[in-house]
Structure 1
Amino acid sequence: MMTTTMNPADPHAGRPMLRGGAPLESARGAMIMVHGRGGDAAGMMGLARELDRAEWAYLAPQAAGNTWYPYGFMSPIAQNEPGITSGMNAISRAIAEAEDAGIPAERIVLLGFSQGACLATEFAARHARRYGGVAALSGGVIGPDSTPRDYAGSFDGTPVFLGCSDVDGHIPAARVRESAEIMRRLGGEVDLRLYPGMGHTINLDEVEAVRAIMDAATRA
């Protein structure tokens, strides 16, 4: 049986990339879907079916051991390396695959849930440009409160959706608000929604908000 050897310096390299929806060559848009801690790429494909946009291609990278980085997202960044950088490399590979198939960044949406939302949000902030959209479902930028946020680049009007419970035990509402402000400073059109008393989950309102971003990206 063939096994994959993990590279300690890039632990998520060589992990599977699940693909669903329309073939990239004929898709109207592409969504990069980043799973949470303990989740997997297959679970994100379940969310893709809920989004109900069959003309889109969906690419979901898989983390080694189902975890992108070992500690909480507000821990010192160095403690969560090389997982953070390796996870961002996985996102970069997914974006490159979509672009190589002819889908421009303006029709690529980055979406993550929980730990995957934190990774996707931090990736987007570090690589700000005009995307089809960014959707962080229960997540925010990575690092302690003292982390410098001197990101370069510009979202140039990219729609950014941040949805989270106001009492999420994993994601403080203050960090979600801070992330929204960072995205605004980078030129994103930010839609922040904090849901009173919700659990650490995804609700229908968030699904509908993501659908609206997808529809707008393919109308452009």
Structure 2
Amino acid sequence: MTGPHQNQSLVTAGTDIDDAEAAVVLAHGRGASAESIVQQLGREVHREVHREGVALLAPQAARNTWYPNSFLAPAEQNEPGRSSGLESIGDAVEAAVDAGISHERVLLVGFSQGGCLASEFVARNPRRYGGLAVLSGGLIGESVDPDDYLAVEGDLDDTPVFLGCSDVDPHIPEERVHATAEVLENLGGDVTTRIYEGMGHGVNADELDALDGLVAALV
């Protein structure tokens, strides 16, 4: 497709993709950028020497926003940004695969809007990935019907999934996190859900430790 995000850059960091053993696809939040999420979470991915061999790939949203409305709005109200954003995530995954990295060594990570996109992409394209980390995010739409996702061919085949969110996040209702976990479990994911009391909209040390563990399992 040709959408608002298809002519945007793919920011890369870490090990050169042609030399990498694994890849982490990082999806930024609303108002942020591919470079900012690489700088913030990329440091965690590479905070130990043995993480050499991991390429970072971060697609950029047009005007720093993947879709215009709340992720809880009817899906059609967030088009074409939603579909274009999902395609951008898929293009980043395929860039890793085209470089010789298997899907089983590709970890998808997203925060806020990016977390919503990453979870939606994995649920709509189920297969064995290196992992999925959704930080303050959830599946996109006015409601979540698990049967809609079970109609998709394939399964996650025990892909490790981490969902982290506050119980009082002003953008992400706790019930949507649990609904997302249910869908990903039904698709065969090995899901860990952690709800943090009073955290707000952000990322904490426990979530970064969980991310560290997912990256360590890739290499």
**CA distances 1:136-170 after superposition (whole Å, capped 9, x unpaired):** 00000000126564212200000000000111000
Q: Secondary structure at the residue paired with 1:217?
A: coil
Q: 1:157 to 1:146 in 2, by over 3 A?
A: closer
Identity %: 51
User: Would you say the 8 A contact 2:44–2:212 is kept in 1?
Assistant: no
- The TM-score with structure 1 as length reference comes to 0.92
Work out whether 1:24 is the aligned partner of 2:22: no
Corresponding residue number in structure 2 for 1:36: 29
Partner residue of 1:99 out of 92, 97, 100: 97
- What is the rounded CA distance, in whole Å, between the counterparts of 1:39 and 1:14 in structure 2? 17
Corresponding residue number in structure 2 for 1:137: 135
Mark the runs of 5 or more structure 1 residues left unpaired by the alignment.
1-6
- What is the rounded CA distance, in whole Å, between the counterparts of 2:22 and 2:212 in structure 1? 12
Work out whether 1:51 is the aligned partner of 2:52: no
Corresponding residue number in structure 2 for 1:89: 87
Q: 1:146 to 1:42 in 2, by over 3 A?
A: closer
Corresponding residue number in structure 2 for 1:3: none
Which amino acid in 2 is paired with 1:41?
A
Corresponding residue number in structure 1 for 2:3: 10
Task: Report the CA distance between 1:50 and its aligned residue.
Answer: 2.3
What RMSD in Å do the two structures reach over aligned CA positions? 1.3
Corresponding residue number in structure 2 for 1:4: none
**CA distances 1:181-216 after superposition (whole Å, capped 9, x unpaired):** 110000000010001100211111111101111222
**CA distances 1:63-112 after superposition (whole Å, capped 9, x unpaired):** 00100000000100000011011001111111111001100000000110
Work out whether 1:180 is the aligned partner of 2:174: no
Corresponding residue number in structure 2 for 1:109: 107
Runs ≥4 residues deviating over 3 A: 146-149
- What is the rounded CA distance, in whole Å, between the counterparts of 1:119 and 1:29 in structure 2? 21
- What is the rounded CA distance, in whole Å, between the counterparts of 2:199 and 2:173 in structure 1? 13
- What is the rounded CA distance, in whole Å, between the counterparts of 1:160 and 1:146 in structure 2? 18
